Amino acid sequence: MISSGSNSATSNSTTRRRGSWRSRIAFYLLAVGSACGLGNIWRFPYVVGENGGGAFILVYLFLSLTIGLSVLIAELIIGRSTGASLLKITRKISVQTKKPFFWFGRLSLFISLVILAYYSVISGWVLHFLTQFLVGLFHQEQSQYLGSISMSVLMENGLLQFALASVHLLICGFIVVKGVTERFERILTAVLPIFGILVILILTRSLSLPSSPDVLRFLFYPDFSKLNLTSLGHAMGHVLFTLSLGMGVLVTFGSYFKQDEHLPTLGVRVALVDTLISIVAVLMIFPIAFSISNKPLTDPSLLFEALPKLFMKIQYGQYFGLAFFICLWLAALNASIALLETLISNLSDRFLKTDRFSSAWIVIAVTLFLTVFPAFSGTLFRNLTLMNQSLIENLDSVLINYLLPVSVLGMIVVFFKSMNEMDYKEKFVSEQSESSQMLVKNWIWVLKWLAPGLIILGIVLQLAAVIKNSLLK
Ligand code: PHE
């Protein structure tokens, strides 16, 4: 077993000092900020559209509040009690058990690297809209200009997507390398409440559109006939992605927490807020998509096609649009920084025997290279399709719906191998929280049985769908 505080791989390689969190509120906002991002606002709405609405949302809610929450708490506990990075923990377990558990560590870092590249491209899309709204402020014919903002310009220009993703990544790199992460976090904690208010305003406007009764029926009236072989896997993948699980991010995050912080309580709050934000996002986007925008609900461009249409219709819409995309980009930046920091702290003490500065730029250079694939998916790699899906769609699906669940299975194994029963029970139960005493057994049951069972079932059903589709052709 890996003992408490035995190891501090992250302590000398990250800029944040453990236990250095400022006020409690800032601390909670950051924990929430690390989970909330493009996954909630951009990805969730079109995944719901793709999977038919209400019934899928029910499956998502169930998985989020059982498996997602349980794994989230487990990752935070692994981080705090070992004080080490995932790569170091898995290597230690491998040495102790003489089994190749280090592959789980490597897999999760590989996923983080590719997800960072993919995430940077989508963050580049946000940057594009941000700059368009900014330029729009100086245009005489504002409404005409705003009306012309669309995704097609981006989709047809791989170089522009690559350039925007590079700018995003370089800004991340600058923040991490210069060690100004804490300053950035201060800005973010100030911006997050503004983002919240903005979202509520947009939500009220959006729900007053004539399409909202239809939307509410679509989202909250579960039609189980819409579920198919891939629904479980898609819901599982999204839950793990949106809660940032399976990538070692929360392990690193957990290692910053003080011993007296009750991690299950924190976990519950993060999971609840994250889930709530996802629901708010669909309520915000769908009424516009149903009434104003004529794009299919299943397209990754859904958010970017729908929201600008609403901003065009409302007074001061260009300011709202600009503020919204600035906030969304900052949230995306925060998520990217979390991924980059995790990658650097994991890799620098294992493979990259260089200083933090050089490790950071090596990681950024590799990520930049990887962004080429999603960025040019619609242009240079247009013909690289598989199962009628573009490269970027296949990348998303393989990473999030298949590899991430496998990595989370690994994380669960790591959890049980790195601590004994008394240890993890003690970390879960708090004297102040009666519910923790009642729930500890359920938590362990979910980690031991429900999570592995449903993760494996989700993957098997998706594979069955792939086989079925290729036989039908
Ligand atoms: N959870 C983030 C989101 O919803 C994505 C993310 C994944 C961030 C992994 C960091 C690490 O956007």
Could you give the 3-state DSSP secondary structure of residue 324?
A: helix
For residue 320 the two structure tokens come to 């709202």
Q: Which residues line ligand 1 (CB under 6 A)?
A: 35, 37-40, 241-242, 244, 247, 249, 335, 338-339
Residue 218: which of 310, 274, 291, 271 has the closest Cα?
291
Q: What stretches in the chain show pLDDT beneath 50?
A: 1-15, 17-21
Q: So what's the pLDDT on residue 26?
A: 65
Site to probe by mutation for ligand 1, drawn from 75, 244, 253, 346 as the one with most ligand atoms within 8 Å of Cβ, is 244
C-alpha 444: how far from its chain's center? 24
- Tell me: the pLDDT tens digits for 434-466? 787 888 899 999 999 999 999 999 999 999 999
For residue 361 the two structure tokens come to 């730029």
**C-alpha pair distances (Å), 225 with each of 104, 360, 371:** 36, 48, 38
Task: Give distance in angstroms: CA of 36 to centre of ligand 1.
Answer: 7
Site to probe by mutation for ligand 1, drawn from 72, 111, 119, 345 as the one with most ligand atoms within 8 Å of Cβ, is 119
Q: What angle do CA 126, 132, 136 make, to 5 degrees?
A: 145
Task: Give distance in angstroms: CA of 366 to centre of ligand 1.
Answer: 19
Alpha-carbon distance 181 to 338, whole Å?
Answer: 10
Alpha-carbon distance 251 to 400, whole Å?
Answer: 19
Q: So what's the pLDDT on residue 7?
A: 38
C-alpha 252: how far from its chain's center? 15
User: Which amino acid is residue 390, in one-letter code?
Assistant: S
Q: So what's the pLDDT on residue 186?
A: 81
Q: So what's the pLDDT on residue 14?
A: 41
Task: Give distance in angstroms: CA of 192 to centre of ligand 1.
Answer: 16
Task: Give distance in angstroms: CA of 289 to centre of ligand 1.
Answer: 24
- Tell me: the pLDDT tens digits for 223-240? 999 999 999 999 999 999
Alpha-carbon distance 130 to 312, whole Å?
Answer: 14
Alpha-carbon distance 412 to 234, whole Å?
Answer: 20
Site to probe by mutation for ligand 1, drawn from 36, 71, 241 as the one with most ligand atoms within 8 Å of Cβ, is 241
Alpha-carbon distance 341 to 252, whole Å?
Answer: 9
Alpha-carbon distance 80 to 261, whole Å?
Answer: 10
For residue 195 the two structure tokens come to 């983002």
Atom of ligand 1 nearest to the CA of 342: 11
pTM, 2 dp: 0.91
Atom of ligand 1 nearest to the CA of 332: 12
* Phi-psi map region of 316: left, alpha, beta (phi>0 left; psi -120 to 50 alpha): left
